[in-house]
Chains A and B, each alone.
Chain A
Amino acid sequence: MSVVLNEVRRATYFDSIVLMRISRQVAALPGVEEAGLIIGTPANKDILREAGILSEDGNKAEPGDLILALRAKDRPAGEAALVEAKRLLDQPSTSGAPSSDNSPRTVRSAIQQMPNANLALISVPGHFAPAEARKALALGLNVMIFSDNVPIEEETALKREGRERGLLVMGPDCGTAIIGGLPLAFANVVPRGDIGIIGASGTGIQEISCLIARAGSGISHAIGTGGRDLKAEVGAITTLMAIDALDADPGTKHVILVSKPPAQSVAKTVLDRVAQSRKSFTVCFLGAPQLSLPANACAASTLKAAAELAIGTTMATAQAKPPSIRSDHGKCVRGLFAGGSLCAEAQIVFRQAGLAVASNVPAPGASPVTGTNGGHLMIDLGDDEFTRGRPHPMIEPAVRDRPLAEALADPEVGVILLDVVIGFGAHPDPAGHLASVLAGGRHGPLILASVTGTDGDPQWRSQQVNKLAEVGVIVADSNADAAMMALTAIGISNR
């Protein structure tokens, strides 16, 4: 039976970092179910009470006192944890966990601690990112720059410097990579395999790698390039170096290139390089016109098609035909996307079906949103206009709440199309949030969705799918499948 134990230290001060470190250490001790280490203010006693770990002793603490509170599975475990906790409190600077002083504060000190490291992930304000990236390059490290707001001139200069040193510069604004099986930034847990991905598109890499994983194949490396690498100013420096790297990698048999349509001159350069490779390629330039590809490359118009070409088989869609839309609703489709590439893919599916579609971030062939155009709308909620004052919708799904409420109330909307992107870096339970918004019964538009992720991800894709299904959302196997189901639902034959 669980036991709650509290220890009160009178008039005791610790640095916040020490308090939080010891609190985490105690929480991780064997048999400990919950732990907290906070000063004894009335508000903090409310927190401990809410957590069910406040005892009579703790309740007597004063605001200057420190309360160590824990709940353990049984008394022996609790008392052992309390002894260890007291030891940590008595020797805060010599506790077993690495202290903050051991955390490297510079790239140089990090490489001293880990001399074999060969990649630095830079996530600092954009203004400082180029300087940190240059330090990393000077130390012989490949660089992934997560930061955005880096001028394109700096990006070009950094990539040129990297090229001279034989080092990859992924980014700036590179949100996704998987190197040697290790997910970096926004990425998913996928098995190792022989398919390499080079992408200027974060959610594009995520969708493709997850579809490949769910089909039973795996990824050798997924190299992000940053969204501007295929612009003429940058000249695909990282893409070309990534092709070189995967070409030389014996663990990679097939390579997928995924990006928005590149500058024409850049596309030629990239495809000329592809032609020199002895490996096969899938080229997915979302929305690009007909490409003249070399013999070792195939074109994919969607992310799903790219995954299928890479694994050499068509992925079956498990979903039955979706129910028809309600007769009292219109036949417009409203897509509300967290992933920019997923929004682009849905537009492409609609354009391929011959339908007009508008978007705040229009793919080739789509129209910009004017405020007056009705019809099918695909909204990229990661665009600036929706993220003012709040994080990206992959981090904070509430960004979608208002547009979703508007779509649910719009009689012209017959189908709502949604994406849920999980994995490292994403919200811990985006489907749970969506479900809470949609719960309570709906009689509005049909809601179709896809979940980009795997069951290896912290959020477990199958659990996310179940949460959506429980509130009546029809979940497709892929984003492209969801878009095609939307077409079917409004009576458009897309096959």
Chain B
Amino acid sequence: MTLNTDAAQSGAGWDTRPRKWSNDGSDILVPILRSGILAREFCRHRPHAEVEAVFDRSIYLRSGDVFVCVGEPAIGNGALTLIADFGISRPLANLGLCPGQPASISDRCIAIDDSVRFTFDRCVLWRQPRWPLSRSLRELNDLCSAIARQIAFESPHEGLGRVVCLRQGGAGETPLARLACPRIARFESWLFGALENHHVPITASPASITDLIGLGPGLTPSGDDFLVGALALLDALAERKAHAALVRVIAAIPRGLTSALSECLLKTAAAGHVGENLSRAVSAVVSGMPDQAVAAIRKIGHSSGWDVMAGILTTLHVVAMRDARPSLSVASIE
């Protein structure tokens, strides 16, 4: 496989010329434009995979417990993502791909069932940018109101966004809210302890984390997305103790708490890899730019982005509480 290691930018080099189709339609060539670093490793070391899921804008290939996403540029770059140029004449949905089809992977292409070939000739490597320097926690806590207001308005009723921002969870609320509120509260307590203590044993209340895993609707359950947001923010704020503690718990989660796809994405986030849109959202949060954060979140799935942001805001709130503890009676740090 030939991979250009120049940093790739979203949309750069994406043309809309029709793809090359063979006369009998059996050899559809789709160029891969960009590859995430883990997707590249996947293609180097796993010669065989299978189509696991097919969506409007992307497909997932699976080999063992690892998934790689092949999708349109609009889904955004990611460590486990291959961005392909499907052109305007034949979108992904028309390729006839379906779950269960075998995929053969070489250094030149991914061939699916001898009918579609994703080629690496034009592929460049996408690298996740470094986190920017963070503004003060007091400033960041202030900007949460703008983001929380947007979550309250925009996020779907089904996810954790509204649960977190509207503090739902009373007897009259949804079953998800009733279950999620105390679990998020336990996560907050755990995180507060992890931020405070120098040594957080792996056995220290892992249920505070694992209770959230697999919780909620969506392809990736809301609770998983919430934890991805928490991981990314702790990493961006360089809260290394708490980040490491959370990573340890997630790395040790038993199988069967969530879907294999979501577990793969969660563990990828625990390894420090997040997608382009989440990276932008978290960078915007720590830079004090709420509008940009919300704009980036809107590009992440239907509800996942808001669930991720719920995790980011919850985590930011706890970190700010830790720093503001001597004056906890201040109304703004409730």
Contact = CB atoms under 8 A, between A and B. Distances in A.
Interface of A: 13-17, 19-20, 23, 36-39, 41-44, 46-48, 50-51, 62-64, 93, 100-101, 123, 125-128, 149, 384-392, 395-396, 398, 401-403, 427, 429, 432-433, 436
Q: Nearest 7 CB-CB pairs, A to B?
A: A41-B214, A125-B291, A13-B53, A43-B215, A17-B302, A16-B218, A389-B144
Contacts of A46: 179, 215
B25 interface: no
Contact of B216 (A38, A386, A433): A38
30 contacts: A13-B55, A13-B99, A19-B217, A19-B218, A23-B158, A36-B217, A41-B213, A41-B214, A41-B257, A42-B256, A43-B211, A43-B212, A43-B215, A44-B215, A44-B221, A46-B215, A47-B215, A48-B175, A50-B178, A62-B256, A63-B256, A125-B150, A125-B290, A125-B291, A127-B291, A384-B145, A386-B331, A388-B332, A395-B166, A396-B166
A44 B165 CA distance: 21
A389 B313 contact: yes
A46 to B, nearest CB: 6
B302 A42 contact: no
B144 A20 contact: no
Nearest to B164: A390
Contacts of A125: 150, 290-292, 294-295
A44 B216 contact: yes
Contacts of A389: 141-142, 144-145, 148, 313, 317, 320, 332-334
Interface in B46-62: 52-53, 55-56, 60
Given A16-B301, A43-B214, A429 B221 contact: no
B296 to A, nearest CB: 11
A113 B108 CA distance: 44
B247 interface: no
Given A63-B259, A402-B334, A13 B60 contact: yes
A466 to B, nearest CB: 15
A149 B331 CA distance: 23
A398 B93 CA distance: 46
B96 interface: no
Interface in B285-327: 290-292, 294-295, 301-304, 313, 317, 320
A386 B149 CA distance: 13
Given A41-B213, A43-B223, A385-B331, 14 more contacts: A16-B217, A19-B217, A20-B302, A39-B221, A41-B221, A42-B256, A44-B221, A93-B93, A385-B332, A389-B148, A389-B334, A390-B145, A391-B152, A396-B152
Interface string B224-262: 000000000000000000000000000000001111110
A20 B158 contact: yes
A384 B215 CA distance: 33
Contacts, number: 167
Contact of B291 (A63, A126, A390, A432): A126
B295 A128 contact: yes
A46 B182 CA distance: 13
Nearest to A13: B53
Interface in B136-175: 141-142, 144-146, 148-150, 152-153, 156, 158, 165-167, 170, 172, 175
Nearest to B218: A16
Interface size bucket, B side?
Answer: 35 or more
Contacts of B220: 16
A388 B149 contact: no
B200 interface: no
B1 interface: no
Contacts of B179: 43, 46-47, 50
B49 to A, nearest CB: 15
A399 B53 CA distance: 43
A149 B176 contact: no
A123 B146 CA distance: 13
B56 A15 contact: yes
A71 B223 CA distance: 25
A193 B292 CA distance: 42
Contacts of A39: 214, 219, 221, 258-259
Contacts of A401: 334
A388 B52 contact: no
B99 A391 contact: no
Contact of B149 (A16, A391, A433): A391
A252 B167 CA distance: 42
A123 to B, nearest CB: 7
Contacts of B146: 149
B166 A391 contact: yes
Contacts of A388: 141-142, 144-145, 332-333
A183 to B, nearest CB: 15
A392 B166 CA distance: 10
B258 A398 contact: no
B170 to A, nearest CB: 7
Given A19-B218, A38-B216, A391 B145 contact: yes
B216 A15 contact: no
A20 B176 CA distance: 14
Contacts of B141: 388-389
A393 B217 CA distance: 28
B278 to A, nearest CB: 15
Nearest to B158: A20
Contacts of B313: 389
A387 to B, nearest CB: 4
Contacts of B217: 16, 19-20, 23, 36-38, 44
A156 B294 CA distance: 26
B191 to A, nearest CB: 15
Given A43-B212, A43-B214, A429 B172 contact: yes
A420 to B, nearest CB: 16
Contacts of B148: 389-391
A15 B218 CA distance: 7
Contacts of B153: 123
A398 B175 CA distance: 20
B219 A43 contact: no
B302 A16 contact: yes
A62 B291 CA distance: 39
A382 to B, nearest CB: 11
Of A391, A398, A403, the most chain B CB neighbours within 10 A belong to A391
A63 B145 contact: no
B323 to A, nearest CB: 13
Interface in B176-198: 176, 178-179
A17 B332 CA distance: 35
Contacts of B292: 125, 127
A126 B52 CA distance: 40
Contacts of A63: 214, 256-260
Nearest to A38: B217
Contacts of B258: 39, 41, 43, 63
A20 B302 CA distance: 9
B303 A436 contact: no
A385 B145 CA distance: 10
Nearest to A388: B332
Contacts of B214: 39, 41-44, 63
